[in-house]
């Protein structure tokens, strides 16, 4: 058995991989994995019991199976789609998942990570969007994938995979259609030629995604607003982090306070829920400069006001 616990698989020699520059056209981030910041992202996302591990294990299983079974008989495209309302942690989950994969299956090599900013690929010049998408897949992604396992995050994927059935050639340039075609062709080519690539796509508007991309997804994961239990965990985690810097804030961790706050925060997404502590601190001059002075009443009032804002 090898040192990494996988029978018959020797630990590969680690050679630091070359990455495209983060300011490369279409990219917003490029790094090697595992990464401590992404590990923290994985821990920060609160999902129902077991869901995170199921997602990670399914993604890892896809890597293993795609490298061993021909595409025609097991047509896995290496695409996971995370969908849900804004602020529910889809992007954070995607980054954490990338890190988790690198730890689950390190025997296949040094993982790399690329994050795509699809908005930079759009152009008003005829043909430019299509060319940018083609170059991204055929050059940037393909060349990085040739050197080892790769995770690619495409945030707001509907930007480059817009539902063509909802577009009008009168209202939208033909380039939009061609760019979607280019993205689909690129995904298909990567799926067949680079079996150790996983695309994680996120969307706040799954109804705006082209059906051809939806059909290619190996797994579609709804990331919904946090449940009562998840809200309590998020609040507890946020206050615990605050109390590490301002110890007196620990009084907000009283079970009765957390229970009331979690119940009152129904409808808030995880992002708003974590930020509500700032609104609570701003309710009086003392807590503005010293968060240790936040009272349970400040917290509950801030939650009530924030909840009212979204109604």
pLDDT in tens, 259-297: 999 999 999 999 999 999 999 999 999 999 999 999 999
CA dist 111 and 135 (Å) reads: 22
- Cβ-proximal residues to 278 (8 Å cutoff; 6+ apart), any chain: none
Residues contacting residue 25 through CB under 8 Å, at least 6 positions apart: 120, 121, 132, 135, 136, 140
Exposed, middle or buried by CB within 10 Å (0-12, 13-18, 19+), for 73?
exposed
Query: How do the pLDDT tens digits run along the chain, 311 residues long?
Result: 334 444 444 444 455 788 998 778 889 999 999 999 999 999 999 998 789 999 999 999 999 999 899 989 999 999 999 999 999 999 999 999 999 999 999 999 999 999 999 888 866 454 678 888 999 999 999 999 999 999 999 999 998 998 988 866 555 557 778 889 999 999 999 999 999 999 999 999 999 999 999 999 999 999 999 999 999 999 999 999 999 999 999 999 999 999 999 999 999 999 999 999 999 999 999 999 999 999 999 999 999 999 999 87
Q: What is the pLDDT of residue 128?
A: 78
> Is cis: bond before 282, omega within 30 of 0?
no
| Chain centroid offset of residue 97 CA | 7
DSSP for 288-300 reads HH-GGG--HHHHH
Alpha helices in 6-86 (DSSP H): 36-44, 51-66
> Residues 246, 291: contact at Cβ < 8 Å?
yes
Q: How far is CA 186 from CA 59, 124, 183, 202, in A?
A: 20, 21, 5, 18
pLDDT tens column, 237-263: 999 999 999 999 999 999 999 999 999
3-class state of residue 220 by DSSP = strand
Q: Determine the pLDDT at residue 177.
A: 83
With residue 306 as reference, give the H or E element that holds it: helix 296-309
CATH superfamily of the 27-222 domain: P-loop containing nucleotide triphosphate hydrolases (3.40.50.300)
DSSP SS3 for 154: strand
On whether the CB atoms of residues 33 and 111 are closer than 8 A, the answer is yes
**What is the pLDDT at residue 5?**
44
pLDDT of amino acid 15: 59
* Residues forming CATH 3.40.50.300 domain(s) in the chain: 27-222
Enumerate residues 6+ apart whose C-beta is below 8 A from 60.
Answer: 101, 104, 105
Predicted local distance difference test score (pLDDT) of residue 123: 60
């Amino acid at each position: 058995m090898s040192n990494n616990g996988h029978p018959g698989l020797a630990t590969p020699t680690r050679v630091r991989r070359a990455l495209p520059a983060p300011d490369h056209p279409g990219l917003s981030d490029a790094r090697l994995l595992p990464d401590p910041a992404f590990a923290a992202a994985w821990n920060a996302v609160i999902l129902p019991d077991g869901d995170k591990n199921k997602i990670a294990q399914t993604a890892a299983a896809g890597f293993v199976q795609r490298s061993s079974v021909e595409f025609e008989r097991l047509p896995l495209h290496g695409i996971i789609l995370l969908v849900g309302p804004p602020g529910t942690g889809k992007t954070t989950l995607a980054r954490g998942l990338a890190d988790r994969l690198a730890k689950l299956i390190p025997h296949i090599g040094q993982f790399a990570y690329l994050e795509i900013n699809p908005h930079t690929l759009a152009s008003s010049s005829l043909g430019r969007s299509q060319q940018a998408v083609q170059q991204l897949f055929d050059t940037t992604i393909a060349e990085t994938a040739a050197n080892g396992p790769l995770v690619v995050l495409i945030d707001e994927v509907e930007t480059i995979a817009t539902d063509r059935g909802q577009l009008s050639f009168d209202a939208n340039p033909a380039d939009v259609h061609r760019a979607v075609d280019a993205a689909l062709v690129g995904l298909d080519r990567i799926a067949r030629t680079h079996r150790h690539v996983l695309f994680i796509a996120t969307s706040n508007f799954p109804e705006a995604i082209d059906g051809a991309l939806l059909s290619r997804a190996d797994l579609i994961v709804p990331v919904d607003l946090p449940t009562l239990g998840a809200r309590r965990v998020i609040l507890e985690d946020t206050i615990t982090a605050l109390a590490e810097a301002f110890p007196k804030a620990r009084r907000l961790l009283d079970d009765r306070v957390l229970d009331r706050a979690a119940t009152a925060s129904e409808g808030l997404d995880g992002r708003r829920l974590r930020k509500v502590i700032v609104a609570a601190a701003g309710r009086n001059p003392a807590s503005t400069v010293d968060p240790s002075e936040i009272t349970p009443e400040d917290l509950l009032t801030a939650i009530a006001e924030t909840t009212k804002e979204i109604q």
